[in-house]
Amino acid sequence: MKIVTVVGARPQFVKAAPVSAELRKKHEERILHTGQHYDEKMSKIFFDDLQIPKPDINLGVGSDSHARQTADIMIGVEEYLRQEKPGLVLVYGDTNSTLAAAVSASKLHINVAHIEAGLRSFNRKMPEEINRIVADRLSNLLFCPTQTAVANLKNEGMNKGVYNVGDVMFDAAMKFAPIAEQKSEILKRESLSPGDYLLLTLHRAENTNDIQNMKNIVSALVDSQKQIVFPVHPRTIKYLKQYQLHDQLENSKLIKLLEPVSFIDMIVLEKNAQKILTDSGGVQKEAYFYEIPCITLRDETEWVETVEDGWNCIVGANYDKILEAIINFSPDSPQKKHFGDGRASVELCELID
């Protein structure tokens, strides 16, 4: 069967890598990159070193408002699907690319498979939540990463075509960690010692668009007196400067601001951190996979299993809670196999006829 996989950002390429390797044993796959996120680090080295299939087409839609970006992707995806006439469209996660591809395929009466189906934050102020809900409703095959995701779909009346296959991100994390450890020189380059620093990522609009949230987070980081490594998203830099917080971070002798790092460098930074602070769903999971305590700078998480296991604490943008977690949070229970055994890609490909 011909399958078109639609991706729009670096994390989706990473998740698609183990799935594509399995798909191509039995099927003819085409990869459409919407270009939703431009990432200059997705160079030839990214694809060659990690053995990730290169896209067959890049729509190059770039950044725009949610409506315009989604519309541009829908137009490009529809045209490509009419040309290729696949039997299945495969989408990942919760981006505008996910939503647009699911809508375009459905209107052309092409079956849709959604990987990472059933995730819910129950916060509809997040655009990702809307994308998840719509993509799930339009999908014929719903590949869930956890039993919680299956339960979420059941509660919404979706039972048909729902499978708990495990998390393809866990597959990818296990596949790429040894490659990253072999190739990355980030620790040496930045004079970092394993276990001696906290790693921070911060980019979600609920934080960056709120001056008080950003003030609380920055104050807690500075007052913690801990060495913190912070690869800064360009959007976050813009807001830090707008709120006059950038100099406060830059002048701290313990906070190391970095340009956005490559995928393999990020893996090594995560695996060697003492703790991770983040508002990213993906980084929360990677922290869990690599058994690093995670402090989540949001008021909720889609990955409730990481909290239930005691490896993730939710602190929002509360100064006192952030500082307390930095100083005292430490997991005291073993992890459970919520996310499968690293064979999610194999299992879901077996379910695709």
Q: Which residues are catalytic?
A: 203
Helices (H) and strands (E) in the chain, counts: 17, 13
Q: What sign does the CA torsion over 67, 69, 74, 79 have?
A: positive
Question: How many residues would you count in the chain?
Answer: 353
**Encoded tokens for 214:** 């950003």
Instruction: List helix spans (H) across the chain.
Output: 10-23, 44-50, 66-84, 96-107, 127-138, 147-155, 168-183, 186-189, 205-208, 211-224, 234-242, 246-250, 263-271, 281-289, 304-308, 319-328, 344-350
8 Å CB contact between 146 and 338: yes
> Which H or E run includes 33?
strand 28-33
**Encoded tokens for 184:** 């990355």
Burial letters for 56-85: b for 16+ Cβ neighbours within 10 Å, e otherwise?
ebebebeeeeeeebbebbbebbbebbeebe
Name the residue among 277, 262, 291 with its Cα closest to residue 170: 291
**Encoded tokens for 319:** 């100064």
- For the sheet containing 255-258, what is the strand order? 255-258, 228-231, 198-201, 275-278, 294-296, 312-314
**Encoded tokens for 56:** 């067959």
Q: What sign does the CA torsion over 217, 222, 226, 229 have?
A: positive
**Encoded tokens for 97:** 């690319």
SS3 256: strand
